Structure 1
C-alpha cells in the first residue's frame, strides 16, 4: 500500500472511531463524573485541609485518602492534564461526528431530483393522486405554506425546514465552543486574592490558582481610593464598598468605579470582586505628637466573632502601654491595661487620659478584601450557549419534502418529513383536498 492511500485509510478509520456515538457517550459520562468530583471535593485548598478532611485511616470509601486525592489531582480537577485531555477527545469526537454524519446529511437534504415515474411515489411515507389536478395550483399552495418550490411543465419538487438539518451542526459547534472556553480558561485563567488598606496601590500578586499559561497583568495597577462599610441601625453590616481606580504604567487613571458585593469592576479581561474586609491599622496621637499609625492584627476568637487588636506604648522606652481592640469600622475601640483590665472605650475623633498621656483616636483604617479573576474562556462560553439555544430551536424545525408529477391526466403528490409526521400529513391532505375541489371536470391545466 502506497503512503497516500495508507494515510487516507487511517484518516477515515480515525474519523470513524472518533465519530462513534458510543465513544462520545463514554467520554461524556467520564467528564460528567469528573465534574461531579470537582464539585463535591473542595478545590484549591491547602494541604492541611485535605489531610484533616480526607485522612488515610479510615479512608473515605476505603480508598480515597488525601494522598490518593492529591496524586490524581482531585484537588484541582479542572486544570489536570487528564481532564483537559478528556475535553480535547470529546471535542474531536464532536468534530468527527459533524464531518462524517451531520454535514453529509445536510448535503443530502440539499440534493434533490424530480420524480419521473408514478411508481416512485409508492416508496414515500405519504402519497395520493388527484385526477386532473393542476401542478401550478399545487405549487401555489405549497408556496403559501412556506415551501420553496421548483417545477417544470409536469414535475415538481418543494421543501421547507432546511434549518432542521442545520440545527444539529450548530449544536455540535456550540458544544465545541464551550469545550474550547473551558480549555482556554483552565490554561490561561487565574484567581487571586488581595487584602489592601484604604488609600494603597497594589499589583496582582497573591495567586490562589492559575493555569500553566496564565499571565498576570504588569502594565497596570489598582488604587483603593477609599473603603467603607454601611451599617444597619442595629449595628450589623449592611454593605461594604471599595472605590477603585485602575492606573496605567505611568500612574494615570484609566478607569474608576465603586464595587460592592455582586457589583464588580472589570478591566482588560480581569474582574475585581468585593469579597471581604478587615481593619488594617489605627491612626492616633499621643499628647501633641503628629498622627501616628500602627497596624492592627486579627485576633483568634475561636469562631466567636471577629476582633482586631494592637498595642500602643505610652512611654518612650516602651516599658508601659495599652491594648486597643476593635470589632468594626464604626469608630469605637476598647482600651485595656497591661494586666488585661478594661479601662475605657474611645470613639474616633475623641481623646482620653491614660498613664498620664492624652490619647486621641484619629481614624480606624479599613482594608478591602478583593477576589480577582481572569477567565479568557468566558466569551467562548457565552457564544457557545447562545449557539446551543439557537441550534436546539433549529433542530425542532421539521424538514419536509414534497414531489409532484402530472402524467396521463393525473397529478401524483407525495412527501416525507423527519418529524411532526401528523402535522405534515394534515397539511398535505388539506392541500390535496383543495386541489380536488379546484380540478376541472375534464381537462387538467399543466
Structure 2
C-alpha cells in the first residue's frame, strides 16, 4: 500500500508581497548600483564635454554627426529629467541599502555573540595566554576588572566549566555609517534640487551705466554703476571689478556692492560672479517723431560682422522701428590680417548699418563720430561715448544648504568611524591543574592600531594582576577560514609579551 507523506504547507505570498520583495532586492543589488553609477558618470561626462569644443571636433571629423552635435550643445544635461531621475534612483538605493543593514548593525551593537572557540583564539593574530593560580571565576572577575578599567563593555557567558568573555568599546561608533550614508543621500537630493530649481547664466552682459534683467523667476535686475580695471605694464589686465546695484521687480534697490573675480555678490540665494569684460558703446537712438528708442550701452566684441571679422561689433534689434542695427568699432589690432579691415575706421568712429526687417526696403549705412549723429532708415543714431561692458555669471542653487548639511554629516560620520574605532576582544577562561588559564584575542587581524591597543591591555593585565601574558603570532597559512587549525585542538606554544610600539606579527619559534 502506498504511503502518503505529509508535507508542510508553504504559505502563498500575494503578488503585492512578491512585487515589493523584487523592488527591494533591486535597490539592494550591487550590480544595479554599478549600472546606476556608470550611467551617472556617462551623463556627467556628456554634460561636461557639452561646454567644450569636443563636440565640434567630432562634427569636423564625422560631418554626419553635425545635427547630433547641435542637439548636444543645446541639451542642458545637469538640469534635465534623466539626470534628476538617476540621482533619485541612487538616493533611493542608498536609503534602501542603509535600512536593510540597520537591524544587523544594531544587533551587533546591542546583542553581540559572546561564545567563541579555541580554534579562533589560536588562529587570531595576535593572541595571548595567561595562567593564574586563582579559580576560573576569580580569575575571570580580575580580567573583567582590567577590561572595564580600559573602558570596555564586558559580556560573559558560562559554557560548562569555561567562561566565555566578549569585551568591546566605542561600539556606538558603528552608527557613524548612518550619518555618512545620510550625507550621500543629501548630496544626491541637493543635486536634484539644484538641477530642477536652480539656474546658472554663463553670460550676462551689462554695459556700464545699463540695466539688465536676470530673469529665471528672480524678479531682479542688475545695474552696473561703474566698471573699473587696472593693467600691468605688459598690457595684461591685473584686476577688474563692477559696482553693482540690484533692483527688484518694483524698481526698488535691494542690494548694492562690488563684485570682482573670485569675490561674488550674493543676494537672497542669487550669486553674481565677475567673469570678464570688453568694449561697449553708448548710443542714443530716436525716431522721426523724437521718441527715444534706445539710450544706453551696447556691448561690442560678442558679435562678429562679415564686413570686418577682426573688429569689435555689436547688434541691436529695434522691432518697434522694424530695423536691426549692426555697429562696428575700429580694429584694435590692425597688424593682424590688415587685409580684412575694409572699413579703415579711425579712433572715435563707429560704423552703423541699418537692416530693415522688411526685405523690400533698402539697407543704409554710415560712419558716425563721437558726439555726432547720423540718419539711417528714418532713425537718428547718436554716438555718445565709448565705455565697457561687464560680463557676469549669475547663478542660484537652492541645494547649497543641503550640501552644507551633507558636508557636516559626512565629515562627522567619518570622524566618528576613524577616531573612535570599534575595539573588540574575545576570550575563554578555562580551569587548569594549577588554577585557571585564559586565552584572549582581539578582532584586529589587519588593524595595527587595534593590535597596539591589545598590547596595552596586556601590559595593564601584567601590571595589575602580576601575570606575564604569553603573546603569540599566527602563521596565516596554518589556519582555515573559520580560524581552526587543521591538525585539531593543539595547545598554544608559549612566547613572550612585546612592547606596545612593536609590531605583533613576529613569528614565535
Could you tell me the TM-score, scaled by structure 2's length?
Answer: 0.60
In the other structure, the counterpart of 2:319 is none
Kept in 2: contact 1:280–1:297 (CA 8 A): yes
The reply to whether residue 228 of structure 1 matches residue 228 of structure 2 is: yes
RMSD: 4.6
String of CA shifts for 1:334-363, please: whole Å, max 9, x gaps.
xxxxx96777769xxxx9999xxxxxx985
In the other structure, the counterpart of 2:399 is 377
Structure 1: gaps of 5 or more residues: 206-214, 285-291, 311-322, 329-338, 355-360, 442-446
Looking at structure 2, the residues matched to 167 and 419 of structure 1 have their Cα atoms a distance apart, in angstroms, of: 22
**Greater Cα offset, 408-417 or 256-265:** 408-417
In the other structure, the counterpart of 1:109 is 108
Change (3 A) 1:306 1:182: farther
Change (3 A) 1:11 1:418: farther
Bigger radius of gyration among the two: 2
The reply to whether residue 58 of structure 1 matches residue 62 of structure 2 is: yes
Q: CA deviation at 1:32?
A: 1.8
What pairs up with 1:329-340 in 2 under 5 angstroms? none
What pairs up with 1:161-240 in 2 under 5 angstroms? 161-162=170-171, 164-192=173-201, 193-205=203-215, 216-218=217-219, 220-240=220-240
Kept in 1: contact 2:242–2:390 (CA 8 A): yes
Kept in 1: contact 2:229–2:239 (CA 8 A): yes
The secondary structure found in structure 2 opposite 1:216 is: coil
Kept in 2: contact 1:164–1:398 (CA 8 A): yes
Looking at structure 2, the residues matched to 28 and 395 of structure 1 have their Cα atoms a distance apart, in angstroms, of: 25
Change (3 A) 1:139 1:71: same
String of CA shifts for 1:148-190, please: whole Å, max 9, x gaps.
4567998864312335523433332222111112111111111
Change (3 A) 1:279 1:68: closer
Looking at structure 2, the residues matched to 150 and 104 of structure 1 have their Cα atoms a distance apart, in angstroms, of: 20
The secondary structure found in structure 2 opposite 1:171 is: helix
The secondary structure found in structure 2 opposite 1:65 is: helix
Looking at structure 2, the residues matched to 381 and 243 of structure 1 have their Cα atoms a distance apart, in angstroms, of: 30
Could you tell me the TM-score, scaled by structure 1's length?
Answer: 0.68
Q: Count residues with an aligned counterpart.
A: 382
Q: Which residue of 381, 387, 394 corresponds with 1:365?
A: 387
Change (3 A) 1:114 1:374: closer
In the other structure, the counterpart of 1:95 is 95
Q: CA deviation at 1:93?
A: 1.8
Looking at structure 2, the residues matched to 352 and 71 of structure 1 have their Cα atoms a distance apart, in angstroms, of: 43
In the other structure, the counterpart of 2:488 is none
Looking at structure 2, the residues matched to 439 and 327 of structure 1 have their Cα atoms a distance apart, in angstroms, of: 90
Kept in 1: contact 2:297–2:387 (CA 8 A): no
What pairs up with 1:35-50 in 2 under 5 angstroms? 35-42=44-51
The secondary structure found in structure 2 opposite 1:28 is: helix
Looking at structure 2, the residues matched to 304 and 184 of structure 1 have their Cα atoms a distance apart, in angstroms, of: 42
Q: CA deviation at 1:256?
A: 1.8
In the other structure, the counterpart of 1:334 is none
The secondary structure found in structure 1 opposite 2:275 is: strand
What pairs up with 1:268-287 in 2 under 5 angstroms? 268-282=268-282
Kept in 1: contact 2:269–2:398 (CA 8 A): yes
The secondary structure found in structure 1 opposite 2:262 is: coil
Structure 2: gaps of 5 or more residues: 1-9, 285-293, 316-327, 334-341, 350-368, 373-382, 468-509
